[in-house]
């Protein structure tokens, strides 16, 4: 098992370049199933979750070539001859269920393992299934698998376009239904759709394959089904959660840190919260941001996570670390996931003073954190604990770092290049 050992207290400075977005790349890889020919994706991050999604596609029979050096992935879906996403892969990564929409759309059937819970909550998939059902899918759950099949109708295996009203703007359900609708007969309208920039990226990608999708980025997405889609070449958008992580790291212990490819417009609520706190951010241009030493002491604040364009739940653990070092009381409310404060006990082991009350974290800022052996609970909590280690006094050992590798490309190398004292040990 590998660990990070961090000696805190170093000042970060220099440039860091943000990689391709995990939460876009995974969907684009799944969506490439829909085409009748080869797709090439560029700027694909070298992270564990991408490897798992590639494994899922290979299990289905797709031919996938990875060019690690150039960060490009070539996917040929013509050889797909299996319609099953197995439990071994779905349990490693829930996003594997995003092959369901494309497989249903193209082949009219899919068997996918029920994902089960994860470290941040129970994470239902009822909205995905309800959307499929609205489009004419029959499903049954047996032996831990969901078997979906398009009801036999005059149009063969094609799904039927319809109106899908979502109870909650789930990102995954929006994406799965949007992909399912691409080859459906007629028009599908998704109301109360998720609005993340990654949804726009997926819609642009699908449109470049020949799909007809309008309204992505709003809460009403309209998809006119087409007969077939062709492979395309597309560059994955930058990862705004990775950008947010480095910006908070710079706010904690940085000076003159330039974050390239930050695309700050994708996270406006997050940036205005950082300004309220007093983080000294300057916008260089629409892609790049600089963080300098604070001009005065930071202010505590209150934050509530919400679906986009609200404050992103994925940056909740990250900002909590910053707030834990700011004198005064801050309250963080988690509204998206039911169990996303598991890491707080680890932070308290480092000297933070945070009490959890239901879905609120009451944070009393402390003067300093102190290094300790701590665990990484999930992807973002793991990154948050590393940030705590960067600013803590003494040495912090972070175990279970495989969570971090799921979603951050070269995390320790990037931090090291900014001057952090962090190393990986076995």
Catalytic residues: 118
Residue 103 within binding range of ligand UD1, rule CB under 6 A: no
Total of chain residues touching ligand UD1, rule CB under 6 A: 20
- Most distant CA pair in the chain: distance in Å? 69
Least distance to ligand UD1, CB of residue 178, Å: 12
From residue 152, alpha-carbon distances to 89, 138, 186, 345 in Å are 29, 10, 17, 52
Between residues 85 and 418, which has the closer beta carbon with respect to ligand UD1? 85
Q: Are 302 and 295 in contact (CB under 8 A)?
A: no
Q: Which residues pair with 329 in a beta bridge?
A: 364
* Alpha-carbon span 262 to 105, nearest angstrom: 34
Q: Which stretch binds ligand UD1 (CB under 6 A): 31-39, 121-129, 281-289, 417-425?
A: 121-129
Q: Which two tokens stand for residue 223?
A: 């998809």
Position 99 contacts ligand UD1 (CB under 6 A): no
Q: Which is nearer to ligand UD1, 126 or 151 (CB)?
A: 126
Question: Could you give the string, one character per residue 13-32, with x where binding to ligand UD1 holds by CB under 6 A and - elsewhere?
Answer: ----------x--x------
Q: Which is nearer to ligand UD1, 213 or 326 (CB)?
A: 213
Which residue lies nearer to ligand UD1 by CB, 131 or 254?
131
Count the Cβ atoms, other than its own, within 10 Å of residue 192: 17
Whole-number Å distance between alpha carbons of 181 and 150: 13
Query: Rounded to an integer, what distance in angstroms lies between the CA atom of residue 212 and that of residue 91?
Result: 33
Distance in angstroms (rounded) separating the CA atoms of residues 124 and 101:
16
Concatenating the DSSP letter of every residue in 91-124 gives: TT-GGGGGGHHHHHHHHSEEEEE----BTTB---
125 lies in the site for ligand UD1, by CB under 6 A = yes
Only one of the segments 35-43, 117-125, 137-145, 354-362 lies at the binding site for ligand UD1 (rule: CB under 6 A); that segment is 117-125
**Which part of the chain contacts ligand UD1 (CB under 6 A), choosing from 3-11, 165-173, 248-256, 392-400?**
165-173
Residue 153 or 268 having the CB closest to ligand UD1: 268
> Is residue 314 a contact residue for ligand UD1 (CB under 6 A)?
yes
State the residue number with the nearest CB to ligand UD1. 172
Of the residues 79, 116, 163, 168, which one makes contact with ligand UD1 according to CB under 6 A = 168
* Residues within window 245-264 making contact with ligand UD1, judged by CB under 6 A: none
CA distance 131 to 153: 18
Check residue 336 for interaction with ligand UD1 (CB under 6 A): yes
Least separation in angstroms between residue 95's CB and ligand UD1 is 4
Give me the residues paired with residue 363 across strands.
330, 354
Residues 222, 188 contacting (CB under 8 angstroms): yes
Is the CB of 121 or the CB of 373 nearer to ligand UD1? 121
Q: Is 411 in the site for ligand UD1 (CB under 6 A)?
A: no
128 counts as binding ligand UD1 under rule CB under 6 A: yes
The CA distance from 362 to 360, in Å, is 6
Q: Which stretch binds ligand UD1 (CB under 6 A): 68-76, 100-108, 118-126, 213-221?
A: 118-126
Chosen residue from 337, 343, 377, 411 binding ligand UD1 by CB under 6 A: 337
Residue 74: its H or E element: strand 72-76
The verdict on 402 binding ligand UD1 (CB under 6 A) reads: no
Peptide bond into 130 cis (omega under 30): no
Q: Pick out residues in 171-210 that bind ligand UD1 (CB under 6 A).
A: 171-173, 194
The per-residue DSSP string of 367-389 comes to S--B--EEE--SHHHHHHHHHHH
Q: Please, what is the minimum distance in Å from the beta carbon of residue 314 to ligand UD1?
A: 5
Q: Decide: 37 and 76 in contact? Cβ < 8 Å.
A: yes
Q: How far is the C-alpha of 367 from the C-alpha of 255, rounded, in Å? A: 19
**Which residues of this protein are in contact with ligand UD1, per CB under 6 A?**
23, 26, 95, 121, 123-128, 168, 170-173, 194, 313-314, 336-337
């Amino acid at each position: 098992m590998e660990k990070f050992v961090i000696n805190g207290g170093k000042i970060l400075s220099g440039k860091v370049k943000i990689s391709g977005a995990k939460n876009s790349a995974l969907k684009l890889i799944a969506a490439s199933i829909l085409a009748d020919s080869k797709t090439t994706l560029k700027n694909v991050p070298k992270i564990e979750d991408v490897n798992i999604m590639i494994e899922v596609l290979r299990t289905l029979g797709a031919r996938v070539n990875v060019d690690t050096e150039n960060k490009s992935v070539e996917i040929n879906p013509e050889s797909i001859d299996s319609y099953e996403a197995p439990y071994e892969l779905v349990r490693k990564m829930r996003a594997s269920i995003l092959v369901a929409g494309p497989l249903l759309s193209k082949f009219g059937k899919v068997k996918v393992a029920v994902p089960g819970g994860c470290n941040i909550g129970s994470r239902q998939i009822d909205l995905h299934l309800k959307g499929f059902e609205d489009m004419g899918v029959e499903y049954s759950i047996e032996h831990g698998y969901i078997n979906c099949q398009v009801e036999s109708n005059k149009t063969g295996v094609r799904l039927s376009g319809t109106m899908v009203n979502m109870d909650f703007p789930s990102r995954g359900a929006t994406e799965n239904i949007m992909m399912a609708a691409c080859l459906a007969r007629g028009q599908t309208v998704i109301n109360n759709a998720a609005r993340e920039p990654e949804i726009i990226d997926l819609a642009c990608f699908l449109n470049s394959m020949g799909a007809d999708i309008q309204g992505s980025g709003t809460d009403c997405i309209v998809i006119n089904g087409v007969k077939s889609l062709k492979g395309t070449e597309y560059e994955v958008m930058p990862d705004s959660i990775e950008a947010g992580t480095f910006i908070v790291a710079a706010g904690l212990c940085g000076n003159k840190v330039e974050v390239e490819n930050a695309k700050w417009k994708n996270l406006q609520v997050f940036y205005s919260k950082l300004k309220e706190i007093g983080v000294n951010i300057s916008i260089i241009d629409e892609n790049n941001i600089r963080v300098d030493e604070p001009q005065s002491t930071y202010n505590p604040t209150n934050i509530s996570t919400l679906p986009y364009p609200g404050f992103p739940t994925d940056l909740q653990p990250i900002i909590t670390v910053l707030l834990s070092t700011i004198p005064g009381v801050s309250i963080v409310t988690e509204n998206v996931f039911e169990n996303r404060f598991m890491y707080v006990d680890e932070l308290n082991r480092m000297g933070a003073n945070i009490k959890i009350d239901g879905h609120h974290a009451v944070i009393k800022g402390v003067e300093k954190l102190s290094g300790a052996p701590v665990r990484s609970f999930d992807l973002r909590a793991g990154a948050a604990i590393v940030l705590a280690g960067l600013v803590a006094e003494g040495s912090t050992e972070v175990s279970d770092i495989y969570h971090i590798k799921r979603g951050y490309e070269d995390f320790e190398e990037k931090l090291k290049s900014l001057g952090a004292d962090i190393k990986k040990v076995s």
